[in-house]
Homo-oligomer: A and B are copies of this chain.
Amino acid sequence: MFESAEIGHKIGKQAYKQALPELREALLQAQIELVQRKKTSVLLLISGQDGAGKGETINLLYEWMDPRFISTMAFSEPSEEERDRPPMWRYWRTLPPKGRMGVFAGSWYSDPMRDRIEGRLPVKALDARAEQINRFEAMLVNEGALLLKFWLHLTKAAQRKRLKALEADPHTAWRVTQWNWDRLKSFDVAQETAGHMLRITNTPWAPWAVVEASDDRYRELTVGRILLDALRSKLDSAEQAQTPVAPALPLLRVNVDKRNLLTELDLSLALGARAYQRELARWQGRLAELARDPRFKDHAVVCAFEGADAAGKGGATRRICAALDARQYQVIPVAAPTEEERVQPHLWRFWRHVPRRGQITIFDRTWYGRVLVERVEGYCAPDDWLRAYTEINDFEHELTEAGVIVVKFWLQTSREEQLERFRAREQVAHKRFKITEDDWRNRDKWDAYQQAVCDMVDRTSTGEAPWTLVESNDKPFARVKILRTLCERLEAALAAPPRRPLADKPPAAAKKKARAG
């Protein structure tokens, strides 16, 4: 991985001076196009050995380009608000929007690499993290990001020399601490780990650029040139949708006998008035207890509601809320994305509502919109919704891995029941707003929606985040089944041996994070 970056590359002063003006002009021009067209976000990961000039390189980018459209993200120890959420949350919240460039001083590579170097992570676990990272990066690229990963490389000798030089200069001496010298001792382990990690995350869609860093001029020109080429190639490429860079799942099954998951549901299931009152009180009481259980402080709940219009999502939500303390939950109605959400990857607008530990977020419609309405209505290309299954599974995996309990409900009514409810709503003044032209139009695509639901369940009902199909022709039955399911999932999670979420490191260990990338 590092061979070509140990041959002693150097650029003379004269050659540097000659090349620089043109490079800067071209970089600035490319940045202007980036800002004006708002089609792409740029993520620059600046990683590498201590003293390899990461900070200098970042400062140089600011000097060469317009600093108003660059943000640098540093990741030292995670804050409380970050520790209370899945580890990737802190990266999602800092993703640059389209039109901007985000420089990552430290990144999603920092934690696994440091943990490996310090012997806390077996190599198999490291490989699993790398696989997750590859998928995350594929998602970013598919969503329109330009992702450039730089590794600034120094040999051990060069690193020692550089640390000494920094230490000798009174202006930079503060940057060298005992920690750096200690780290030099583990150079070989670090080197090997980095080499391994870089190799398995060196994907066609997000390749690493390893840059020899001992000569400043060589490093500067090389980084600048790679950035320029990548920017230009992205800006000059055709704007039409591209084939996703990561493989989507194979195409969908054909259904020859008209039977499917949903036709098999017994929609006649119902609950009498007295049984409903009894069961409702029982499960609401149970939910109230569970949400106040001290063990719940190590968890959070993401509750996802999907269902055709008028299937009863709102009513079910209210029955859940009634059992909870209003300070403990948020209900997020998912409608069209806002301007700020549209310039981010699709899942960003859901990540921003991921609950802290001890909290509950109820989504009224969800990230599954992409494989339901967007698929059926043609709002996104088939490639996009096909890859969404994988992205969604990854998203939910990251939640569950961090102790978040993901509970997903599909509320199924018959076509006839839906019609009846539409008509009833039109009679009630304050419910009239709930019926729009769209609702009537969606009815015409009933079969296409049902097929999309079956595909969704097949592909995203995982052991850790299963779908619950709810027979919803009878509202009392549906509400009780939902409450009961939620309680049972909570009970199971609280009874399981506690797992320590990845981000939850003692501050002392976390402190070193800042420099691990």
Which residues of A come within 8 Å of B, CB atoms?
Answer: 25, 28-29, 32, 36, 55, 58-59, 61-63, 66-74, 79-81, 103, 105, 171, 174, 285, 288, 292, 314, 317-318, 321-322, 325-327, 330-333, 338-340, 364, 429-430, 433
Contact = CB atoms under 8 A, between A and B. Distances in A.
A378 to B, nearest CB: 25
Contacts of A340: 338-340
Given A81-B81, A288-B171, A321-B62, A326 B105 contact: yes
B326 A68 contact: no
The copy count of this chain in the complex is 2
Contacts of A288: 171
Given A174-B292, A285-B171, A29 B429 contact: yes
A332 to B, nearest CB: 8
Most buried by B among A63, A171, A318, A327: A327
Contacts of A333: 68-69
Nearest to A73: B327
The DSSP consensus for interface residues of chain A is helix
A314 B66 contact: yes
A326 B32 CA distance: 20
7 contacts: A29-B429, A62-B321, A62-B326, A63-B318, A105-B327, A171-B285, A339-B339
A71 B330 contact: yes
B318 A62 contact: yes
B292 A59 contact: no
B321 A67 contact: yes
A282 to B, nearest CB: 13
Contacts of A332: 68
Contacts of A314: 66, 68
Contacts of A429: 25, 29
A267 to B, nearest CB: 26
A433 B32 contact: yes
Contacts of A285: 171
Contacts of A28: 430
A12 to B, nearest CB: 24
A174 B288 CA distance: 12
Contact of A339 (B25, B61, B338): B338
A72 B327 contact: yes
B32 A318 contact: no
